[in-house]
Structure 1
C-alpha cells in the first residue's frame, strides 16, 4: 500500500507538476525574454531625442551661417582681396557666434573655406582645412553631408587631436547660382558618445552609431571609430529596417542586437547585449518556479506521511490482525485511533471477531453439554444399588473363602464406581477425590506390584474444597499408562494438592516415567487435535474452562526420559450451584 501510494504520488502529482512547471518555465521565459528586449529597445530609443537634437541644431546652425549677410559679404571681400572689410565682418560674426554657440557645448568648431584656404573659423582652429570631403559637398550642391569621424589635425593649439563628426555643405551665392565656399560644422564625437554610453549597464557588448554604409560614426570605444562593419552579417541585416531587435552570433558569442534609425542622417544607433546577460534576468523566474516546485514536493511528502500514518499503517495493522484470525487465533489486539472509514472498518472487524468467538463458545459449550448429557444417560442406565449389592456379595464370598486380597480389590472397585457415579452430581470435594484416587491406585497396585509406588500430599485445609468430579484419576491413569508402564524398572507417582497464592489451588500429578516430547504436548493441547491423543487431558481442560473460565489453567511440562508433570490450577471457594 505504501509503495502504491508513492507511485500514485509520482505518477499523478509530481510528474504532471514537473511537466507543467517545465511548460510554464518555457513559456514564461519566452514572454519575459521578449518583454525584456522590448524594454531594452525602448530604453535605447530614449537617446533618440538628444542625438536628433544635435543633428537638427547643427543643420540649423549651418543654415544660419550660410544665409548670414555678414558671411556672404565676408566671402566676397575675401574673394576681392578686400581684407580690411573682411576683418570687420569677421569681428561682427564672432560677436554673433558667441551668443549663438554659448548653449551648444557639443559644437567643436565652425569653418568656412575655399579649398585649403580658410575664410572664417570659430572654436578649435586649424592652420589649413581638410578638404577630403569638399568634393562630395560640392556634388551635393548645398545639401547636407555628414562625414565619418576623423581627427581634427593641424590645429594652432598644441594638444592631442580630437575625433569629430562634421556636417559639410557647399555655400551658394545668394545673389547668383554659383558655389562660393564650403562650410564645416564639427561636432565633438566624445560629447555625442557620452549621451548614450551611460544607459548601457551590461557586461560585454556596447552601444555605437553606424552610418548607412556600415561604418562606425560614434562609439565609447574609440578604437572602433570609422571601422567598416559592413562585412558583419548582423550590420547588413539591421540596415534594412527602421528599428527592432534580433538575436545574432557576434565574435563567437550569442548576442541580442537592438537598433533604431536617425532619419536625417541615415545613422543607426546599435546596442549589442550578450545573450547570457539577458538570460540571467530569467533566473528570477526560474527561482520562483523552483520554489513553487519545492513547496509542492514538500506538501506531497507531507501528504504521503499523513496518508501513511492515517491510512497505510492502520491498514497494515488491520491486515496483520486478519492474518491472525485466518490462522485460528481470535485473540485480536487492534488499537483504533480514528473515526474515519478505516476506524469504522476496524470496529466492524473487532465486532465480527467477537461474534465469532461468542458463536464458537456457544457451539463448544453445547458440545460439552451434549457429552455430559450422554454420560448422565449412561449413568442413568446403570442401577447403582444393584451394582453395589452385587459387588458387596462377591466381596463377602471372597472373605468367606479367606481370599482377603480379592475382597479388598472388590471393595475398592465398589468405592470407585460409587465415586464415579457420584449420585449424578458433577462436583465433589478434594477429600473424596483423594479417596477415590487411593482406591484406583490400590487396584493398579495389584496389577503392577512393585513396579508402581506413589506418594500423596494434600493440604488438610483444602479437603472440603469443592471441585469437579474425576479431576485427578484421569491424570494419574495417563501417568501410569504413558509414563511408568513403558519405563524399564519401577516408577514413582507423586500427587500433591496445595494453595499457591491466595485463592488459587494447584493439583499436581508428577511421575518419573519416559516423559512426553514437545511436539506431542502441543498436539495434546490443540483445540482441534488429530486422532485421540491426550483425550483425557483435553476433556479435563474443557471442563475446567466451562466451569471456571480464564481463572483455570492446565499446564504440561516434560522432557523425554525425565518424566512428566501435569498441573491443574483452579480458583478457591468457587460457587458451583450444586449441593454436595
Structure 2
C-alpha cells in the first residue's frame, strides 16, 4: 500500500487533477451522452443538409455574379461608338487604322483583361478593314458555317458556348450599315478561374458540376474520397444518385439551359453508435461506489502538503529569509516547494545586492554630474570669446562663436533624443554658418522652409550628417569657383514631413548610393541616419538619394508628422 501511495504522490500534479476530474464527472457525462446521442445525431444530419443547401445557393449566386460581370464587360466594346467604328469601319489609310488600334483599341482591351482575369483570349471576327491587321482580328467569313456564328447571329445578347473543350462567350458588334455583316467578339474564358473557389466551404467531401444545354460537362470540381468524375453527365449523375450517402442539389442557371449541380457525402458528418451499453452501466455502478472514497483520499493528500508549505512560508519574513524550504517529491507540489525555496534564497541574495547597488548608484550620479560640467565649461568659454570679439570689434569671430555655441547646444539637446523641426533647423543654420566662415563663403545657402511644420517633433541630429556630406563631398568641384549652392527645404507632404538637401556639385553614382545606404562602406553617418529613422518609425521612412548628374545631388529625408505629449 505504501509504494502505491508514494507513486501517486510522485506523479504529475496535472495527472492528479485530471484523474480526479474524470472520476467526478464521468457518471453525469456518460448519462448525458447516452441520452443525447440519438437526438443530436438526427439534428446534425438535418443541419448539415440545411447548411450545405445554403452554401449551394450562395455559390450559385456568386457564380452568376461572375458571369454577369464578364457579360457586362462586353459593353466596353459593343456599346462604345469608337470601338464599333474601329471594328466595323473602313479606313482611308493604314496610318489611321494602326493609330486607332494602338491608341484607342489596345488601351480598351487591356482594361477589359485587367478587370477580368478570367479572360484568356480575345478574338474579333469582322468584315471591316481591321481584319487580319493583327492576330486577334479575323475574317468574319471564316466563322459563318460554324456553331459559334449560328448561335449568336440572331441575337444581340451574349451567348455562352462550350466547344472543343474551350469555354467562350460571344456577342455581336452591330454594324449600323449592315446588320448581317456585324462583327462578332469572342472571349475565351478560363473555367478554373470563373467557376472555382466561389465560396469557402467548411465541408471537405463535396463537389460541383456545371453542364451546358447539350448535356456536356463544362466544369467539375470533385473532393469526394470516392470520386465521381469521368464519363458523361448522365453517367456521373447516375453514379452520384446510386450512393445513399450523397445529397445532390440542382439549379437551372444562366445561360439559359445550363445546369448547376452541387453534391456532398454526408457519411463523414454522421455519428455512429459505438458505445457498449453494458460496459457503460458497469462503469457507472463502480464509479458510484468509489467516488466518495477516492475524493477523500485525494483531498487529504493535496491539503496536507499544501498546509505544510503554508506554515513554512509564514515564518520566512520573521526569519529574515533564512528559512530552508525543500521537498523530495517530484510532482508539481514538490516543484513549487523547491521553486519557492529558490525564490527565498534569491531574495536573500537580492537584499545583499541592493545594499551594494546604492553605493554604485551614488558613484554613477557623481559621474553624471561631472559629465555635465564639460558642456557648461564649453558654453562659458564660447561666451567669453564672443564677448571679447565684440569688445575688439571683430564681428566675424563673434558670429563664429555664437554659431558654434548654438550648434553644440542644439546637438547636445540636454541629453534628449527627440527635438523639434525648428531646433533641428536652427542646428543646421549654425552648422552652415560655421562652414561658411571656414570656407570664406565659397558657397551659398538657400532655405525654403514651411513655417507651420516647425512645432512637430523629430529625432535629434538627423539633418547634420546629410548637410555635412553635401558640403564636404557634394561641393568639392565648386569650392574654388565660389559658385557652390546648397538648398535646404522642409515641407509637408500628406501625413509626412520631407527634408531635402540639394547641392549643385558633380552628382552621385548609383554605386555610391548602394555603398552608402546598403553596404555602409562610405558615409557611416548617413547609413546610421537611415537605420535610426527606420527603427524609430517604419521601413517606409528614412534617407534616399537622387542624382541630378552633372548638376548635383538631392538627399531626401522622410519622417511622419507627430508631436510628443
Please indicate the TM-score interval, normalised by the length of the shorter structure: 0.3 to 0.5
**Larger CA Rg, structure 1 vs 2:** 1
TM-score by length of 2: 0.37
TM-score by length of 1: 0.36
